[in-house]
Structure 1
Amino acid sequence: MTYTKITLIAFIALLPFFSNAQSSKLIGKPAPEIVFKEVLNDSKLSYKLSDFKGKAVIIDFWSTSCRPCIESFPKLEKWQKDYQKDLKIITIAQDKKARIVKFLQNRKLALPVVLDTNDQQYVKYFPHEAVPHTIFIDKSGMVQSITTAGLVTDKHIKELIAGKKVTAQYSDGVEKEIENLIGSEQGETDVQIVQKPFDKNAYSVYKSFKNGRLTFINMSYSTIYEILYNYPNRTRTRWENPKSYYRGWGASDQAIGLEIYAPKFTKEQASSAILGYLSGIAPVKVKFEEREIDVKVLTKLSDTVKMEEAKSDDTPAVSTSANGIEMKSGGIENLASFLEDNLSKPIIDETGLTKKYNLSFPWYPEKPNACLEELEKIGLTLTDGKRKVKLMILVADK
């Protein structure tokens, strides 16, 4: 491959940013008098924030499609139980009531759930664009911190209850569109690659190939390789040294910012160029090996399946979310890939199905094993097994 021009700019500091100053301005000010309506899973159906005067209050915004939100529930439940005399935790769910009812059937929750489905009436008090989003209010009614439950520790809870300054890291829960690393274009024939260090104040962002530009911000070497090689995330990646330093996240050289700008390149050419760049400078290298590993095997329960066959003139369309997969004229490989992503285990398709199907397959993050019941409804099942699988092996000196 011939480049007209290559410009390499390495290790330029990124500028810190906070994407919604509105939220941070609320810290240190009295919390608004909020009336909580449509309260589920509590002894009362409604209450006001002032009803908990003399207690510290944590308001946690979440949704059923937010895995980090759900993963934070055990510690929120523990804190509510351990500090019930001094603390009230209120969760606000941004889902329809029917979905929350189903969630509570699948996963018992020892916290109240306030429905926020009426034009996001509670978001106006604490503006944000993404969840989790967690508000700390002290016993005097002052907003002490705005963070996410995943960043909260027992130390922060004790600070809140004691009336001390809460040292939880600020986060507004917004993933802002970050500026390009390279900046303005330098002509139609230039090829530029820029590398920048990890920025503790920025989010982890991947911008797919568009207009000759491919961008990674605050991403680990392993994730960058998985994207460039179009390899399943986590499930088919292994480290040659399981204790490798670069398996971590947070040190300045464990994740980087990396961008290519090549207006004449295709996506494949841009990916190849970055891989060539990484082969010369990255502390993590890759190789591919076939190994026998534990997998889940997708098979039919009988000779027939209970899925609608697509018509020959149906336009293929597949969309996925944390709440399921919708297929229009999609192959069974799309369902297998969705299951692999959400179960975090290689899925081997041994159904023998080659037709295209229309399928609406629900997913419940709070109860992953419910997928077995859903699969049975369409005549499929998953079983444990061992198979030889081509793996991406990550190699590092330390």
Structure 2
Amino acid sequence: MERLRSLFFLKTTFVVSIILSTTSIVSVGQKSQPYENAKDGEQIEPGKPFTGNLNEQKGIAQQPKETSSPFVRLNIGDKVPDITFMHVKNHPGKTIKLSDFKGKLLIIDFWNKWCIPCISAFPKMEELQNKFGDNIQILLVTSDKDQQLQSLFQNSEIIKNTKLPIITADTVLNKLFPHTAVPYHVWIDKEGFVKATLSDYNTNSSTIQKYINEGKADFTKRQDIFSHEIKYGSLLNQLKGTDYNQMQQIQAYTLFTKLNLYNSGSMMLIDTASKRILNFSIVDLFRAAYGNNYLNAGIEEVATQYAHKVPVKVTVIAKTPEARAKYFYPKRSSPGYDAWLNENIYCYEKVFEPSIMKLPPSKRARVQDSLVIMDLERYFTISSSIRNANEKCLVIYRRDKTENFKAKGGEPLQEKTEKNVIRIRNYSISTLTAIIEGYFLAYSGEYPIINETGYEGPIDVDFGVGDRSIEKLDQDLSKYGLGIKEDLRMVRSLTLKEN
């Protein structure tokens, strides 16, 4: 988890779900090799706890331990050393050198005696060899020793009929091309460079033909995982690797984190396939999830409107009075303000499943809205609802036809003087409503603030915030031809109730 925290540079709470579409390490018809526990040699299956050395394979497939070896793992593009192999079958000579196959596409087929799918595929490999002739060479390689293979070679009709060259008792190629399951194929080009590491089903007539014709083929690179932490740990540990970028395989996910230190402000980004909300309180996350016209519109239609804070009445029903504190911003001047931000500000990101993207736009938006709300309710253990209702609001209105509030130009300015007077110059009237919400309400959404002036442009106004009185604010605004009053209006009423 510390690695994840440093990766995202967050104090974070992670992960609801990540859905991947990727080549399985053990696909259908493959058998995963058991591993040796360094302590007692007990075999384990994938997914069970393990503390041994994953590079040591148990039983007949196990490689000899060496304190040092000249053979290190090769990657795509590396030159393969010209190795001589002594344990060979189905070959005219007593030894095989990799350079014997220079000028051909060399396909190494790793197998073991216990792997039924490996052996069952030998006739298919034989057919490919016969079809492409001198253009390719398929080489069957196993780490099993000759003595361990004696019974198999005597009794298996497939083995007895196989004419492909076989290398047994291999201790080198398995180090150059380590893997956790067989069949496992490696393609080496005509000049002896590693071209691909792949699962056996990618070695077929069409891929070989394309490679012969174009020097390339389309298939998914197979990258077996040897780190126990990565192999059996969180999918997040696998997202970045030196040999393979698992990020490319992500199809859908939901992610929660605490305060995002890369972004000092709040932000919401929405497109048809994803939603990203950065640095929002719990209340504002739900307001964003429901959208500003959730009763009549979907997530895509309300994305832009949210920036203007369409009025919402918010009611929070907490289990205890103390529990309410996490829902509402404290005063910026309070000693615990920074600690509150670190504990109660969240980021949320969701990339929707590909199946949802196939829905008609109107239905897709509705489904996306519902999924986001479900995520928030599940994560925060809250029940939420929204309805249209007559609620007490603060209404900004025009007193007369004068327009003394309109901006006269110049540089935009927002400031608070030493006498607790707010000065707004050349900022939109939505700035006025935001400041009123921050200074005159106990919390965001206590009373919706309605702009009924019919004006959305920039304004120049001064007003006091010292006594936080709506009556005094109304007096201050009156000299600009504006007023503010309490009145009932039909608004959206959002209720959050702790479970």
TM bucket normalised to smaller: 0.3 to 0.5
TM-score, scaled to structure 2: 0.32
Which structure has more strand as a fraction of its residues? 1
Which structure has more helix as a fraction of its residues? 2
TM-score, scaled to structure 1: 0.38
Which of 1 and 2 has higher RCO (CA within 8 Å, sep 6+)?
1
Larger radius of gyration: 2
